[in-house]
Every structure is written in structure tokens, then in C-alpha cells.
Amino acid sequence: MKEAIEFQLVKGTFNLEEAKEVLFSLLNSKIKYHQQQAFSISERNAGSITYSENRIEELNQAREKVIQFMNQQFEEGNSVQIDGIISIKVMQNHV
């Protein structure tokens, strides 16, 4: 049995509008996921939402970095290359 797999989620050279669309779509999807997780945990009084709150903050900071980077590239007339590799590793549960 394989212990890990990797696949290329995003690969290519993009103009800035396309790049922003791809990156913001991924970031916004993850933010929405963590918002839904936090809401679900809160509604059920099922534990702490600290992890989701921290991830939302990290993802919002990443989005701001992307905005700043893309604005700089726009001013310089550049396109960008995006390589997004997903790595999935088996984590053994210890009982």
C-alpha cells in the first residue's frame, strides 16, 4: 500500500487576472470551509474553534500577500507561473 501520493493541482503560466481568479478561488474555498467548520462546532458546542479561526487568519494574510504581489506584477507588466502540488501522506492512528 502506498504511504503517500502527490498530484499537480495547478500548473501553468497565467496572466494576472487568470492567476488572481485561480488563487482567490482556492483561498476563498478554504476560508469558507473553515468558516463552516467553526460555525458547525459552535452550533453543536462540540469543542474549540481556535484551529479554524487561526487558519482563517492565515489564509486571509496569504490572500493579502497575493494581492500585494499581483499588484506589483501588474505594475511591471508581468505574467506569473503557478505550480501547486498537493501531497497526501498516511498518518497512522495510534490507539
Q: pTM of the prediction?
A: 0.82
pLDDT-derived band of residue 95, with 50, 70 and 90 as boundaries? low
Report the pLDDT value the prediction gives residue 1, as an integer from 0 to 100: 73
Give the chain's end-to-end CA distance (angstroms, integer). 21
Q: Please check the confidence at residue 88 and state whether its pLDDT lies above 90.
A: yes
> Helix or strand or coil: residue 61?
helix
In the chain, domain spans: 12-86
Separation of alpha carbons 61 and 64, rounded Å: 5
Taking a C-beta distance cutoff of 8 angstroms, is the pair 66, 23 a contact? yes
